Structure 1
Amino acid sequence: MTVIATTAIPDNVRGALSRWLTEPMPGLYVGTLSAKVRDELWGVVAKSVGDGAAVLAFPDSSEQRFAIRTAGQRRRAPIDFDGLTLIAFNPTETDIETVTV
């Protein structure tokens, strides 16, 4: 199963995603795709994300049995920690101001 979650992407990209995946709620796309179709769709999303953001989760042969890709600016970023994908929080500007004051 492939899951793509998007925020503020262009309508034409939403249309392309909805041709291949089901959209159970706005910005969330779910379905079963071949690796080739998944990679092609993700390429389109990543190139056109602009000020928005997108996350792709799909099956993988890793220990966790899934992989994550992201595009756009997000406060959360996946990092590899000894073969496991963990999520790191990037500080916001208000967090930085609080620490430096």
Structure 2
Amino acid sequence: MVVIVLTACPAGLRGDLTRWLLEISAGVFVGHISARVRDRLWERVKGQIKNGRAIMVYSARNEQYLAFKVHRADWDPVDCEGLELMKRPPSGHVHGAGSERGGSRYRGWSKASKYRRARKFTARHG
């Protein structure tokens, strides 16, 4: 069993994957294919995804009966005493709109809060 989840990918890649897998939701592909086809599909996904992200989960002969492959995803697979787990990004990590501030959340007082405090101060001492 193979599950591939694509985010922000070209439409042509989604169409290409529907030759071998069933698309059960937008960007979510499921199917039963051989290991050789699975590995070649993964190489195609990595080559065509551009700026998008991809995660593949497939059946494997281990304690969990599954394995992960990740391409440009925020969560990373980590081996933890023989178990493969997904590691979350740091709590301050923001993907998308807040990333122009160096990839972390802006910390400190908001402008509105600063103006409110300034008004209180000038009303008392002004």
* TM-score of the two chains, using structure 2 as the length reference: 0.71
Runs ≥4 in structure 1, deviation > 2 angstroms? Answer: none
Q: 1:79 touches 1:86 (CA, 8 Å); kept in 2? A: yes
- Residue 34 of structure 2 is matched in structure 1 by 34
- In structure 2, what is the Cα distance between the partners aligned to 1:71 and 1:13? 15
* TM-score of the two chains, using structure 1 as the length reference: 0.87
Q: 1:22 touches 1:29 (CA, 8 Å); kept in 2? A: yes
Sequence identity percentage: 36
Q: Which consecutive unaligned segments of at least 5 residues does structure 2 have?
A: 94-102, 108-126
Root-mean-square deviation (CA, aligned residues, Å) is 1.3
- In structure 2, what is the Cα distance between the partners aligned to 1:83 and 1:69? 16
1:34-55 deviation digits (Å, cap 9, x = unpaired)? 1111111110001222211010
Greater fraction of residues in strand: 1
Read off the aligned partner of 1:44 and give its amino acid letter. Answer: R
Structural mapping, 1:1-101, within 5 Å? 1-72=1-72, 74-91=73-90, 92=93, 93-95=103-105, 98=107
